[in-house]
Structure 1
């Protein structure tokens, strides 16, 4: 059932929020992320094979531990936006936003009239009747976030137009795909990529649209915070788990060799 969006409220109050990408479709893992103290998880349905029923259960797991569930949907897929929101997502992360028309399509799919034209439905998000449907429509338009991923050179260049039309609640950087767009695949620290991220942040700051960084080192995190950034995605649970497993094994092997 629809709840107040704690991430949106914290950002509005100038507080910091921290999240993770979540690519393993396991409700227990989502619960672990929430119990660890993260504010939000971005459940990935762009790069992973997750079926609609799995996604709904991942969202339920997030709700159980007061973790705000966002869903990264496939590119240019309004049907995926509708299904994610009907399952209970509190926001959609829209990849590869390159032009204002991409935002317009996402807003149309994610918000009810008069802001958009999201298809009307009942079910779990209005609590199977606990929230009166007209009231749910009003509250959903207030609480659900549209998050635009800027991960292409075209998106960087068109960002003023993308933001000036409104409807974007948060901009999330995508340095990895951005590096490829500039011709330097996986060189996320290339000067062109770093300058592009700086430009994206500045355009957001000029328009008072929150910007979400993906710091890859503690130094990155500090620099973004000093620049006024308050939203952070601190990696992906697969990478964190893989590194922890390797480190755990390495420590035991080193101890055995002593």
Structure 2
């Protein structure tokens, strides 16, 4: 026969109310010995953060007028077109990929402008737009190389707001330049109220200064084009 013994334990101390326990405890605090943060004073400013050694990219001027509709001029030292005219050496990168990440890396790497190639690349206007956003974020100029030298492609490309356009297989610059100009100087259709190029009509000076900002590049690859090479200085 197995006998069992049961033992009962009785608390002999009076429990402390929870509210009293909470008020009797001091809040926890963390102190860092010999730390400059222990005695912070608003009058003591931390050292400024220095920039990294990453090459800086020039900021291109925006067309938003501040004082007048022609606030941006062709003589601006930050304008891609004027920089080339002044004889400055600029560096660019051709990209067949339309990955906004790769495009942004190219801009952050220090290139002055990036050419998104729609002639041999597999993408089009819809894929080029995010690339222009990425380049704008890094302050890098964007050039769009269109698949062919036509008025329709020029209009679509310029409406999304690149700093320049590149036409392939140009036989006469006098023929393609009007594709980039509004009447009466050209045949480009105007939709400034709804396109990115004019900041969706926020840029009221767009029609006055777009010629100073758009760089028209012509690729000559034929004997006929070479004979009319002087037209490229239009």
Both structures adopt the same fold (TM-score exceeding 0.5):
yes
Change (3 A) 1:51 1:95: closer
Which secondary structure does the structure 2 equivalent of 1:83 belong to? Answer: helix
Asked whether the equivalents of residues 30 and 62 of structure 1 are also in contact (C-alpha less than 8 Å), the reply is yes
- Unpaired runs of 5+ in structure 2? 1-60, 64-71, 73-77
Report the equivalent of 1:29. 102
Query: How many positions carry a matched residue from both structures?
Result: 159
More strand by share: 1
Report the equivalent of 1:144. 214
Which secondary structure does the structure 2 equivalent of 1:126 belong to? Answer: helix
For residue 129 of structure 1, report the CA deviation from its aligned partner: 2.7
Measure, in 2, the Cα distance between the counterparts of 1:66 and 1:152: 35
1:82-111 deviations in whole A, cap 9, x for unaligned?
A: 11110111111111112x3xx233211111
Could you say what the CA RMSD is over the residues aligned between the two structures, in angstroms? Answer: 2.0
Report the equivalent of 1:212. none
For residue 2 of structure 1, report the CA deviation from its aligned partner: 5.2
Measure, in 2, the Cα distance between the counterparts of 1:91 and 1:106: 13
Report the equivalent of 1:97. 170
For residue 31 of structure 1, report the CA deviation from its aligned partner: 0.6
Measure, in 1, the Cα distance between the counterparts of 2:150 and 2:186: 15
For residue 12 of structure 1, report the CA deviation from its aligned partner: 2.6
Asked whether the equivalents of residues 109 and 117 of structure 1 are also in contact (C-alpha less than 8 Å), the reply is yes
Asked whether the equivalents of residues 2 and 140 of structure 1 are also in contact (C-alpha less than 8 Å), the reply is no
- Unpaired runs of 5+ in structure 1? 168-258
1:48-107 deviations in whole A, cap 9, x for unaligned?
A: 121322111111111111111111112232211111110111111111112x3xx23321
The alignment status of 1:127 with 2:199, answered yes or no, reads: yes
Change (3 A) 1:11 1:51: closer
Change (3 A) 1:34 1:56: same
Asked whether the equivalents of residues 2 and 127 of structure 1 are also in contact (C-alpha less than 8 Å), the reply is no
For residue 11 of structure 1, report the CA deviation from its aligned partner: 1.6
- Normalising by structure 2, we get a TM-score of 0.62
Structure 1 moving runs of 4+ over 3 Å: 1-5
